[in-house]
């Protein structure tokens, strides 16, 4: 049968790609950045809308009027907590029983891999208290959760008071078709994780906890509440969960709908998208979400619910110097309306988007519109890979593209690919991967050895070991070349770069599919340096570019950008201290909650970066 493509035209196209490789790479990179910046403009960003029919109407009459009762509960809770110095478990049990709930407690303990200096804890033990309101109109097959996290330094008394007042109000209603769990957790995320693991009868983090004595149905949705005052000027909503997971967009739309209905202000509310101010503010909001999602940290207790396929978000009350303020009644009515609409669900939230970006609370960008930005950046790596591959194919096949008609350094590079053996790449690949494995394992395992020989604490020892191993990787070019055959050294670095490009493209492609923000951020910084890395030309400039785009430098730059977008810029000393704290928290969150950013960087991207460092200093 005939060929599906003309070989002559295919060779001509391949030759054109080889000739224009550098301009095409620049054009593709610029197109990726421009596409991302264009996401804040109305042609690409869309207005949010409710997809779930059961929550399409807000025609429910909120009757909550327990603002005074909520404030009284909050005062009593704060007084008992101050007196006991911990969560007043006995008082919470009595109060929940007095409003008609089934009350249970759960004790838990956790030994952290090293002391958490941010929260000043190492051996953590606490107690969670939760009450269940049984549905009068259905069996206990489904449930909703309203949770309030309480940390050692938390000022969340108003949220506890509102939770208890809402429990008393919900107890008097007869329309509930789902059980409602009112949960107060100790030690913030640690208590939430202990309760979730016990509720679902799993143990994924090594938490020691007592079994739950009372359960409700399968959890359909959860709302975490954080209030530091009995008056708020607006409500902020956090959607970013563990490892960049996001709740179903309909849950966020439900929150926005009841904020608009009750007149309660919300952060990221209406903006003027007809002028340039709206897109500029949308870009700031979009960048903040990208940085939060890329961190992989759960930005609230809701982030741990998402791991168990429970749609959840965190509401935070903001009390700023604005003219219009709202009391606990307005916040309670918004929560009542949300729970009444969630009570109507016949199945889990699934009709709206799970992968999206938010330039504003009322606008979103779907996955089909933001993925081309990452695709253009990855195309740069594809062009570099294809140029080397086409050259190798042309050398091996008669009449292939080869390097006929090409002159200068391109022709020399293509000639170097002829006869490359994969055995010469084993040494740099194994050594680079071994450095990544050491970066992942040794800081936590060797902390006690470091504290015995150096005057540092355990957390400092972990961070300093991380930096020492990371910097030790810079010496690799002086060691791997001795293992590689000295015959035809040009063929060695060209083949190593080809493997490194494929390795990086596969990693960034997989990351972008699961956590677009992290994949795009890493691609933006690492792709240019990876494409330019070679042992010829201005090696000092290439080395500086590689160092500035390394994973550690990307993290440091992201911290400065984060604070700049929050209009709280950092000095160099403050930025460095925040960087060291972020390293410790990243390792701690991986071992405590299962965050994947640390192993991803240490076992994947850092060894890949070392391969390009080897290419740059190839002798």
Q: What tens digit of pLDDT does each residue of 195-228 get?
A: 999 999 998 888 899 999 999 989 999 999 999 8
Rg for the chain, CA atoms, rounded: 28
**Beta carbons of 335 and 146 less than 8 angstroms apart:** yes
pLDDT band at 529 (very low <50, low <70, confident <90, very high): very high
Span 229-256, pLDDT tens digits: 888 888 889 999 999 999 999 999 988 8
Other Cβ atoms closer than 10 A to 206: 11
The residue among 184, 181, 192 whose CA lies nearest residue 74 is: 184
Other Cβ atoms closer than 10 A to 204: 13
The residue among 132, 150, 181 whose CA lies nearest residue 78 is: 150
pLDDT band at 568 (very low <50, low <70, confident <90, very high): confident
**Beta carbons of 439 and 613 less than 8 angstroms apart:** no
Please state, in angstroms and rounded to a whole number, the distance separating the CA atoms of residues 457 and 260. Answer: 50
Q: Is the pLDDT of residue 1 over 60?
A: no
**Beta carbons of 275 and 74 less than 8 angstroms apart:** no
* Terminal Cα-to-Cα distance of the chain (whole angstroms): 49
The residue among 342, 273, 335, 267 whose CA lies nearest residue 310 is: 342
Q: Is the pLDDT of residue 557 over 60?
A: yes
Please state, in angstroms and rounded to a whole number, the distance separating the CA atoms of residues 598 and 171. Answer: 45
The DSSP symbol for 604 reads I
Give the pLDDT confidence score for residue 484 in this predicted structure. 52
The residue among 86, 327, 83, 151 whose CA lies nearest residue 229 is: 327
Place of tokens 């978000």: 313
Please state, in angstroms and rounded to a whole number, the distance separating the CA atoms of residues 42 and 597. Answer: 32
- In what order do the strands lie in the sheet containing 46-47? 46-47, 363-366, 356-360
Task: Give pTM, 2 decimals.
Answer: 0.89
Range 581-598 average pLDDT: 92
Q: Is the pLDDT of residue 73 over 70?
A: yes
Range 373-393 average pLDDT: 83
Other Cβ atoms closer than 10 A to 111: 11
Q: What is the 3-state secondary structure (H, E, C) of 525-539?
A: HHHHHHHHCCCCCCH
- Which residues have CB under 8 Å from 336's CB, separation 6+? 62, 63, 64, 166, 169, 170
Range 312-340 average pLDDT: 85
Give the pLDDT confidence score for residue 57 in this predicted structure. 62
Give the pLDDT confidence score for residue 451 in this predicted structure. 77
Range 1-11 average pLDDT: 62
The residue among 132, 8, 38 whose CA lies nearest residue 370 is: 38
The residue among 89, 76, 77, 183 whose CA lies nearest residue 127 is: 89
Range 362-372 average pLDDT: 92
The residue among 268, 270, 255 whose CA lies nearest residue 333 is: 255
Average pLDDT, the chain: 85
CA distances for 86 relative to 78, 89, 126, 209, 510, angstroms: 10, 8, 9, 18, 44
pLDDT band at 263 (very low <50, low <70, confident <90, very high): low
Give the pLDDT confidence score for residue 421 in this predicted structure. 54
Other Cβ atoms closer than 10 A to 203: 12
pLDDT band at 401 (very low <50, low <70, confident <90, very high): very low
Other Cβ atoms closer than 10 A to 600: 21
Which neighbouring-strand residues pair with 107? Answer: 127
Upper half-sphere CA count for residue 424 (Cβ side, 13 Å): 20
How many DSSP H helices and E strands does the chain contain? 23, 13
Give the pLDDT confidence score for residue 483 in this predicted structure. 54
Apex 381 CA angle, 380 and 384, nearest 5 = 90
Q: Which CATH number fits domain 53-269+296-349: 3.30.930.10, 3.30.428.10, 3.40.630.10, 3.40.50.300?
A: 3.40.630.10
Please state, in angstroms and rounded to a whole number, the distance separating the CA atoms of residues 249 and 584. Answer: 32
**Beta carbons of 190 and 112 less than 8 angstroms apart:** no
Residues in the chain: 619
Range 543-557 average pLDDT: 93
The DSSP symbol for 195 reads H
* Residue boundaries of the structural domains of the chain: 53-269+296-349, 422-617
What is the per-residue DSSP string for 345-401?
Answer: -SS-S-SS-SSEEEEETTEEEEHHHHHHHHHHHHHHHHHHHHHHHHHHHHHHSTT--
Q: Which two tokens stand for residue 360?
A: 């504003």
For β-strands 356-360 and 326-327, DSSP reports them as unpaired
Helix (H) or strand (E) holding 337: helix 328-342
């Amino acid at each position: 049968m005939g060929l599906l493509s003309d070989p002559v035209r295919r060779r001509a196209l391949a030759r054109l790609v080889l000739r224009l490789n550098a301009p095409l790479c620049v054009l593709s990179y610029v197109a990726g950045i421009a596409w991302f910046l264009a996401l804040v403009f109305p042609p690409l960003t869309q207005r949010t809308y409710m997809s779930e029919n059961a929550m399409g109407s807000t025609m429910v009459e909120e009757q909550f009027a327990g603002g005074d009762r909520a404030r009284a509960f909050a005062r009593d809770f704060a007084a008992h907590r101050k007196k006991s110095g911990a969560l007043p478990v006995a008082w919470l049990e009595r109060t929940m029983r007095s409003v008609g709930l089934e009350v249970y407690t759960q004790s838990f303990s956790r030994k952290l891999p090293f002391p958490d200096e941010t929260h000043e804890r190492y051996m953590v033990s606490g107690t969670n208290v939760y009450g269940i309101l049984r549905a009068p109109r259905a069996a206990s097959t489904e449930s909703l959760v309203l949770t309030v996290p309480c940390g050692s330094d938390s000022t969340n008394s108003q949220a506890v008071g509102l939770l208890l007042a809402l429990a008393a109000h919900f107890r008097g209603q007869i329309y509930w078709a789902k059980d409602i769990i009112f949960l107060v957790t100790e030690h913030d995320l640690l208590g939430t994780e202990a309760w979730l693991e016990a509720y679902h009868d799993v143990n994924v983090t090594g938490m020691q906890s007592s079994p739950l004595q009372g359960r409700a149905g399968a959890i359909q949705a959860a709302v975490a509440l954080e209030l530091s005052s009995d008056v708020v000027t607006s409500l902020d909503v956090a959607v970013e969960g563990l490892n960049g997971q996001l709740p179903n967009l309909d849950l966020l739309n439900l929150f926005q709908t009841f904020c608009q209905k009750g007149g309660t202000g919300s952060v990221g509310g209406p903006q003027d998208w007809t002028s340039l101010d709206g897109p500029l503010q949308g870009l700031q909001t979009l960048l903040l979400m990208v940085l939060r999602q890329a961190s992989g940290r759960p930005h609230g207790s809701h982030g741990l619910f998402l791991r168990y396929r429970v749609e959840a978000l965190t509401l935070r009350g903001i009390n700023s110097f604005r003219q219009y303020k709202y009391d606990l009644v307005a916040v309670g009515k918004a929560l009542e309306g949300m729970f009444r609409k969630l009570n109507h669900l016949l199945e889990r939230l699934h009709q709206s988007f799970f992968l999206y970006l938010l330039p504003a609370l009322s606008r979103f960008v779907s996955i089909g519109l933001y993925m081309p930005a990452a695709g253009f950046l990855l195309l740069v790596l594809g062009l570099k890979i294809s140029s080397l591959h086409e050259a190798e194919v042309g050398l091996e096949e008669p009449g292939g593209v080869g390097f006929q008609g090409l002159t200068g350094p391109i022709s020399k590079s293509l000639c170097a690919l002829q006869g490359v053996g994969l055995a010469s790449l084993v040494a740099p690949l194994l050594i680079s991967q071994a450095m990544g494995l050491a970066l992942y394992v040794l800081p936590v395992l060797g902390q006690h050895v470091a504290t015995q020989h150096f005057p540092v604490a355990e957390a400092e020892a972990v961070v300093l070991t991380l930096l020492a191993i990371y910097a030790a990787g810079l010496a690799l070019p002086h060691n791997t070349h001795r293992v590689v055959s000295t015959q035809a050294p040009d063929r060695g670095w060209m083949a190593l770069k080809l493997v490194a490009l494929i390795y990086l493209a596969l990693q960034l492609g997989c990351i972008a599919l699961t956590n677009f923000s992290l994949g795009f951020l890493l691609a933006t910084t690492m792709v240019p340096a990876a494409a330019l890395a070679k042992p010829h030309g201005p090696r000092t400039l290439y080395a500086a570019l590689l160092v500035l785009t390394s994973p550690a430098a990307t993290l440091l730059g992201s911290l400065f950008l984060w604070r700049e977008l929050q209009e709280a810029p950092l000095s160099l000393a403050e930025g460095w201290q925040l960087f060291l704290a972020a390293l410790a928290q990243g390792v701690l969150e991986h071992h405590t909650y299962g965050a994947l950013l640390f192993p991803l960087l240490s076992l994947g991207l850092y060894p890949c970066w070392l391969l390009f460092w080897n290419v740059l200093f190839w002798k």
